[in-house]
Amino acid sequence: MPTITIDGEKYQVDGEQNLLSTCLTLGLNVPYFCWHPEMGSVGACRQCAMMEYKDSEDQHGRLIMSCMTPIRDGGIYSVKDEVAEEFRGSIIEDLMTNHPHDCPVCEEGGECHLQDMTEMSGHTMRRYRGTKRTHRNQYLGPFINHEMNRCITCYRCVRFYNDYAGGEDLQALGRNHQVYFGRQEEGRLENGFSGNLVEVCPTGVFTDKTFSSHFVRKWDLQTAPSVCEHCAVGCNTAPGARESGNSNEPILRRITNLYHHDINGYFLCDRGRFGYEYINSATRIQNVLSVRQEDVISSTAEKGDRMHREINPQEAVLHLAEQIAMANQGKRNLIGIGSPRTSLENNYALRKLVGSGNFYSGLSQKDQELLHLVSTIQQDDRIQSPSTPEIENADAILILGEDIYNTAPRISLAVRQAARNRQKQQAKSLKIPLWQDSSVRQLEGDYSPIIFAGTELSNLEKITSNTLFESPEKVASFACNLALAISDPTSLSPDLEPSLLELITHTAGILRGSSKPLIISGTSSKHADTLKSVAQVATVLSDYKKQPTMLYLACDEVNSLGLIQFFNDGKGNLDELLERLKKNTDNQIPTSLMILENDLYRRLDKKSLEQLLSQADEIILLDTLLNPTSKRADWIFPASVTAESQGTFINNNGLAQRFYAVYEGKGFIQESWRWLMDAVNFCTEKPANLSAIAEWQHSTDLSDAIAREFPVLKALDSLGPDEDFRIDGLKVARQSARYSGRTAIHAEKQVSENPPLQDPDAPMSFSMEGIHNPNRSPLQANIWSPGWNSNQSIFKFQEEVGGERRGGPSGIRIERPQRVMPEWPAPSTPPEVAADPSHVQMLPLYRLFGSEELSNQAMGISEVIEAPFVMVNHIDAKAFDIHQRELIELETSCGTYRAEVRISPTIPSGTVGIPYGLPDFETLSPLLPGYASLRPAEAPAITED
């Protein structure tokens, strides 16, 4: 380890880093702009100047840019040297000649890296008295504000957006004094990671537009560590909330990234960042509702739709208590339906209440089997689920049947970095340090091999070396043959089409020849054979290389992999429930269905679902948003969303992560399990088997119970910290020390200050009292350090720049028993049939915006969701005489859908692509993949039957 001297102090340091990041790791304050921990150095801003001395005799030294300086063993440097200080101050002064003096109205203010650096440089007086350069701003879509006058030309935005995230519509335009960062013309920034510009830009050029409409300063936000609920990657977030202006109820105001070394690092996707608005949307359930008895006479209401009225929660809880009591006397069936989009704790509570025999997963048979498969595959010790840094280090990637940009967005960003590994390898051999960003990027050379086979590939096409667009059946058979080719190339069938054969042999060669191959697949094709064949490729590769194969499997929802752990016997899906209820018809006992945070219309086809619901005498729903299922409910309880509750999710890697409540939900909103607990407490005679429920107080009581009852989920008892955790006798503060208005905010109602809301459930306070140091626990989500108000301060809380967080890891992998997966028979090769419009296979296509249920209700996102469409192969389109943008009808087993045609050269012939979960197409999702017939739409429009 090299030893260096900085301002007279000796340090042992990591010689791989540049001087700037070394200084930051040492905790020294060196100002900078253009360097970014994840994107390296380009030496553009000149802010990071330091002095370097030849030897101890050298009295003058020479000015260097620390971000561009490699560490020299025995090197002598200075941050504090007057010349360096003066230079840094003059850089700020230069930047300030054009920077507007608009901090008070700038939304970056209070967490602005430019403010921080200005303070740090000591340049506090402005001598320039001239006019400033002014720009016109652009409309960049519903997510991001543009205020170009604040630009300091550090180039971070384009380096992130183009180089790092592969965007193409943001550029540095113009030259000299007039450089402009914007689009060619106004319009939405198209890249799905654009929201990171808000954090990447050191000034207020790019700010969060959704936050703008309910803006407060960073120091006025109350935060807690949370987990993004919009896909199963499990990115960590720091939601921020504060009382709204005209009521005392806090509202969620924004989401920012919360650094997690193994998952999201410094970046989130736009669904995760802007999806939060669903929480404040008009569809949010805020009160306890019960059905109104009168019939609905309304043209828009469908058969079976119910109208609701607000009722006193006590009435509803009492009713629930009665039903529980009845169930315990054997006079009522109480059936619980769980959900992959809520916590383990909520699912467990419902399971406990209704009994395991009456608890169903809320998934269709198909979906549940797929998840079961994922879990089975991950249990094999020849398989390893890679973390994000591991994905970024892979030197060859095979993606099968998963459009990851739309199903596991953050992972696609990691894959994009992996594509550069050949370039990085070359840099290493030329002894160019990897942090020398522009030098490394200039190296010629191909991307590392990325091979894709599946229905649709978004965002990554340009860096993919080979693509095969085929139906899931053919993808499975491709994978199967690939497995053969890896173990024994001679065993391949000679009947294979030559081009396919070539791709198979090529891919096998790449996988065999690489040292860190990675395979990515998942459940989104909804095709078990694909998963099985993928597993086979992975195991064969592992046998060949004598090391576990990295296999990333993406699941559909945030807690898919958690929920499935309650159903390890493979039972409990909705199709089984339907069968059971159908058989029950002559049984005289009435049935109550309790549905937990689940829109069943997205799970089961409409016909089966109607049947299922009609078998129940009563439907009780606990949920966050009104949805088609809620229209059928007799009782609705308002449930808290992720940011309002505590619980555990298990991500695609099997990592159990706890999230904490950021604020308390409005009014009667509470965690679903609390409604169940309340009901049990209302039972006059508490049945013995439910006494445990009555005793629950905190979410952790449930976590511990889960850990005791389910050995695979044992990790839950070591997750933490729990509510009794204290640092120096204190809780961690959710509010910053400067949280303003505490004594005034409620003054119009009461002049004396309200005591802060107590939180018995978490080791955090809903106030500014407590510990504020993110070094001492992972609980602190407000990342701040003196002098570092912006999110750049995260380096103060990492082991080293870009390393693990010092406050301890968040998340523990669940321990599933190691088990060799069964040998599945090879899938039969699908017969070739001519495309036939009366029998097309519908395949799901996913969209970053539009496929996920909750974020679809966010205002910004709802603006950019595409209209539903049917994607048709271009050759088929000719044969069927169908044209682009023509209206078409899709006749399915559950009604007719109509949408515009989109012609595509890649969608496999004989299939049509159907956007999954898009508004108006939600009820089509359970039918995917399935068959339908196509015909030109005839007026008048009919939707569904």
Partner 1 sequence: MSSLLEPELIEVMEHSNRDSDKFSGPLTAEEKEEIDREASHYENKSSVGLEALRIVQKHRRWISDDTIQAISNYLDIPVAELESVATYFQLIFRQPVGKEVIYLCKSASCWVMGCDRLQKHITETLAIEPGQTSADGIFTLLETPCLGDCDKAPVLMLGEEMHRNLDESAIDDLIDKKKKYHADKSPD
Are the C-beta atoms of residues 79 and 28 closer than 8 Å to each other?
Answer: yes
| Residue 482 interaction partner, one of ligand SF4, ligand FES, partner 1, none, beta carbon < 5-8 Å per kind | none
Nearer to ligand SF4, 407 or 549 (CB): 407
Which position among 101, 175, 546, 749 is part of the footprint of partner 1 (CB under 8 A)? 175
| Residue 230 interaction partner, one of ligand FES, ligand SF4, partner 1, none, beta carbon < 5-8 Å per kind | ligand SF4
Q: Does 398 bind ligand SF4 (CB under 6 A)?
A: no
| Residue 819 interaction partner, one of ligand FES, partner 1, ligand SF4, none, beta carbon < 5-8 Å per kind | none
The nearest distance, CB 36 to partner 1, in angstroms, is 21
| Residue 131 interaction partner, one of partner 1, ligand SF4, ligand FES, none, beta carbon < 5-8 Å per kind | partner 1
Dihedrals phi, psi of 336, to nearest 5 degrees: -105, 135
- Per-residue three-class SS string for 718-785: CCCCCCCCCECCECEECECCCCCCCCCCCCCCCCCCCCCCCCCCCCEECCCCCECCCCCCCCCCCCCE
Question: Considering CB under 8 A, how many residues would be counted as binding partner 1?
Answer: 23
Cα distance between residue 296 and residue 303, in whole Å = 9
Q: Does 171 bind partner 1 (CB under 8 A)?
A: yes
CA atoms within 13 A on the CB side of 859: 14
The nearest distance, CB 76 to ligand FES, in angstroms, is 19
**10 Å Cβ neighbour count for 574?**
24
Instruction: Report residue 287 as tokens.
Output: 């009160």
**Packing angle, helices 313-328 and 672-682, rounded to 10:** 70
Nearer to ligand FES, 33 or 675 (CB): 33
Cα distance between residue 504 and residue 492, in whole Å = 9
Nearer to ligand SF4, 409 or 572 (CB): 409
The nearest distance, CB 128 to partner 1, in angstroms, is 10
Tell me: cis bond preceding 926? Omega within 30 of 0 counts: no
Strands 236-243 and 226-227: antiparallel
Cα distance between residue 847 and residue 918, in whole Å = 8
* Options 151-159, 331-339, 685-693, 802-810: segment touching ligand SF4 (CB under 6 A): 151-159
Cα distance between residue 712 and residue 751, in whole Å = 53
Are the C-beta atoms of residues 286 and 667 closer than 8 Å to each other?
Answer: yes
From residue 816, give the alpha-carbon distance in Å to each of 314, 569, 703, 711, 713: 41, 14, 17, 8, 8
The single-letter DSSP state of residue 18 is B
The nearest distance, CB 49 to ligand FES, in angstroms, is 8
Are the C-beta atoms of residues 144 and 195 closer than 8 Å to each other?
Answer: yes
264 Cβ contact partners less than 8 Å away, ≥ 6 residues apart? 233, 235, 236, 257, 258, 388, 410
Which position among 14, 173, 212, 695 is part of the footprint of partner 1 (CB under 8 A)? 173
Nearer to ligand FES, 22 or 573 (CB): 22
Beta strands in 655-711 (DSSP E): 655-659
Site residues, ligand FES (CB under 6 A): 32-35, 41, 43-48, 65, 67
- Per-residue three-class SS string for 866-928: CCCEEEEEHHHHHHHCCCCCCEEEEEECCEEEEEEEEEECCCCCCEEEEECCCCCCHHHHHHC
Q: Per-residue x/- mask for partner 1, residues 130 to 169, rule CB under 8 A?
A: xxxxxxx-x-----------------------------xx
Nearer to ligand SF4, 201 or 316 (CB): 201
**At residue 681, what is the residue type?**
N
The nearest distance, CB 704 to ligand SF4, in angstroms, is 26
Q: How far is CA 933 from the centre of its chain?
A: 35
Nearer to ligand SF4, 79 or 344 (CB): 344
DSSP per position, 542-560: HHHHTSPEEEEEE-SSTTH
* Options 179-187, 431-439, 592-600, 723-731: segment touching partner 1 (CB under 8 A): 179-187
The nearest distance, CB 197 to ligand FES, in angstroms, is 18
Q: Which of 753, 755, 625, 697 is nearest to 276 (CA)?
A: 625
* Options 105-113, 153-161, 745-753, 908-916: segment touching ligand SF4 (CB under 6 A): 153-161
| Residue 483 interaction partner, one of partner 1, ligand FES, ligand SF4, none, beta carbon < 5-8 Å per kind | none
Q: Which of 733, 855, 654, 845 is nearest to 222 (CA)?
A: 733
Strands 812-813 and 655-659: antiparallel
Cα distance between residue 248 and residue 749, in whole Å = 10
| Residue 134 interaction partner, one of ligand FES, ligand SF4, partner 1, none, beta carbon < 5-8 Å per kind | partner 1
* Options 128-136, 145-153, 743-751, 759-767: segment touching ligand SF4 (CB under 6 A): 145-153
The nearest distance, CB 98 to partner 1, in angstroms, is 10
Nearer to ligand SF4, 146 or 796 (CB): 146
Which position among 32, 35, 155, 784 is part of the footprint of ligand SF4 (CB under 6 A)? 155
Sign of the dihedral through C-alpha 366, 581, 893, 850: negative
Instruction: Report residue 758 as tokens.
Output: 């107590």
The nearest distance, CB 156 to ligand FES, in angstroms, is 9
| Residue 65 interaction partner, one of ligand SF4, partner 1, ligand FES, none, beta carbon < 5-8 Å per kind | ligand FES
The single-letter DSSP state of residue 653 is T
Applying the rule CB under 6 A, the residues between 403 and 462 that interact with ligand SF4 are 409-410
Nearer to partner 1, 565 or 904 (CB): 904
Q: Does 183 bind partner 1 (CB under 8 A)?
A: yes
Cα distance between residue 140 and residue 189, in whole Å = 6
Element (H, E) at 618: strand 618-623
Which position among 55, 185, 495, 881 is part of the footprint of partner 1 (CB under 8 A)? 185
Applying the rule CB under 6 A, the residues between 188 and 247 that interact with ligand SF4 are 201-203, 205, 228, 230-231, 233-235
**At residue 577, what is the residue type?**
L
The nearest distance, CB 341 to ligand SF4, in angstroms, is 12
Nearer to partner 1, 60 or 175 (CB): 175
The nearest distance, CB 715 to ligand FES, in angstroms, is 41
Q: Does 153 bind ligand SF4 (CB under 6 A)?
A: yes
What does the longest C-alpha to C-alpha distance in the chain come to?
Answer: 99
Strand order of the β-sheet with 9-12 is 9-12, 3-6, 76-78, 49-53, 62-65
Q: Does 461 bind partner 1 (CB under 8 A)?
A: no
Instruction: Report residue 163 as tokens.
Output: 């180089």
- Return the residue nearest ligand SF4 (CB atom): 272
Nearer to ligand SF4, 170 or 476 (CB): 170
| Residue 47 interaction partner, one of ligand FES, partner 1, ligand SF4, none, beta carbon < 5-8 Å per kind | ligand FES
The nearest distance, CB 175 to partner 1, in angstroms, is 5
| Residue 373 interaction partner, one of ligand SF4, ligand FES, partner 1, none, beta carbon < 5-8 Å per kind | none
Applying the rule CB under 8 A, the residues between 78 and 137 that interact with partner 1 are 130-136
Cα distance between residue 502 and residue 513, in whole Å = 16
Cα distance between residue 604 and residue 593, in whole Å = 15
Cα distance between residue 702 and residue 693, in whole Å = 9
Q: Per-residue x/- mask for ligand SF4, residues 257 to 296, rule CB under 6 A?
A: -------x---xx-xx------------------------
Applying the rule CB under 8 A, the residues between 209 and 238 that interact with partner 1 are none
Cα distance between residue 609 and residue 611, in whole Å = 5
Task: Give the interface with partner 1 as residue ranges (CB under 8 A).
Answer: 130-136, 138, 168-175, 177-178, 180, 182-185
- Catalog residues that contact ligand SF4 under the rule CB under 6 A: 151-157, 181, 201-203, 205, 228, 230-231, 233-235, 264, 268-269, 271-272, 409-410
